[in-house]
Amino acid sequence: MQEQYRTVAREGVHEIEINKSRFICALAPAATEEEAQGVIERVRREHPAARHHCFAYVIGADGGVQKASDDGEPGGTAGVPMLQMLVRREIRYAVAVVTRYFGGVKLGAGGLIRAYGGVVGEALDALGTVTRQRFRLATVVIDHQRAGRLENDLRATGRTVRDVGYGADVRIEIGLPEADIEPFRAWLANTTAGTAHFELGGEAYMDA
């Protein structure tokens, strides 16, 4: 698995105008192809009068799924440069949809390539990106008396606390880099005098 990947920080829209043509880029996170297609269809509904709704998306931390569409523009002048921009910027789990309102002036193949790729790049700059790191999920089980101090110690040492649940005991869910698992076991045993129980779970990507 990839140790980390970059994705868009939030959903949003960025627009540019070139020779009276409007290029409106909708950028959104997408965990699956179905989510990406949902964004594309929503943009189509929002701009029914537009000539083109070109798109590109990359799904998977390794970029394993990549799709692009020129949606009526000359072949290779819209979807491909959009996809190339996402890949060049190492963006994953994201979809870009560029809606074009034709302004009456033809831009030529080179102009279209620069416009479609450029508006995606500008949208990424405007909306920002975040890096997600692969973590191993784990749960620390401890008694109520020691829980508050342990939670503070976890946060103070930079560990990622995902959730805290209170029952007969306190269960603190954390995320750990794979390389930190064994050092963390030793740290936990020392910090809690061996009173905490440590349970390893699956894997997830979280903000680094």
pLDDT digits (tens, 9 = 90+) for 59-108: 999 999 999 999 999 999 999 999 999 999 999 999 999 999 998 889 99
User: Do residues 68 and 117 touch, judged by C-beta distance below 8 A?
Assistant: no
**Phi/psi zone of residue 158: left (φ > 0), alpha (ψ -120 to 50 degrees), beta?**
left
Identify which has the larger pLDDT, 50 or 206: 50
For 106-117, write each residue's pLDDT tens digit: 999 999 999 999
Average of per-residue pLDDT across 178-185? 92
- Which structure tokens are listed for 158? 């930079």
Give residue for tokens 């990549």.
66
Question: Domains along the chain?
Answer: 4-127 (3.30.230.30), 132-207 (3.30.70.240)
Residue 1 is predicted with a pLDDT of 64
Q: How confident is the model at residue 178 (pLDDT cuts 50, 70, 90)?
A: confident
pLDDT at 135 over 70: yes
Average of per-residue pLDDT across 181-189? 94
Average of per-residue pLDDT across 141-169? 93
CA dihedral 57→60→64→69, nearest 10 degrees, is: -10
